[in-house]
Structure 1
Amino acid sequence: MAVYVYRCDDHGLTERSLPIGTAGRTTDCPTCGSPAARVFTAPRLTLGDATRRALIDRTERTRDEPAVVSSPGPRPARRTPVAGNPALRRLPRP
């Protein structure tokens, strides 16, 4: 089964699950019954986990109008050196 998206002029988008390749150019709007035209969208190959879906949604929202920040975020705190083997002190530090 594939999910097809249709747009009604009065009620917006609606989704229908149909076998692959059986979607028509129009379908009846479930709310008013008027013809709703098919909208071609990217295939949903995988839904992924919640983190990936959130990243994809955030990227889609900022595609046309990127989020602008006034300054860079805070710098990460430096790690304190670990007291241990004295030979490790001679190693180069990043």
Structure 2
Amino acid sequence: MVAYQYRCAEHGVCEVQRPMGSAPAQWPCPECGGDTARVFAAPHLGLADRGRLAAIDATRRSADEPAVVTSVPGSGARRRTPTASDNPVLRRLPKP
């Protein structure tokens, strides 16, 4: 659900929770019942957790300053070691 804002001439701004993309251009005011106009505002990205904000910043930064590899990885690259699962169903699968 997304919070959409509507402005009433008499009562100011009210927020309405609706599924994304389903907000109409007008909504009845919860106090007087008159039509309100939809207000377009910036998304509340500042309310996101630190990990999500870091991902947004990294994505924005990579558009202008992509990370460039300066050397070829060595031949002794590590192999990923498989981890054992606690799921008993997976224990019956054949081992590689």
User: With structure 1 as the length reference, what TM-score do the two structures score?
Assistant: 0.49
Q: Which has the higher helix share?
A: 2
User: With structure 2 as the length reference, what TM-score do the two structures score?
Assistant: 0.48
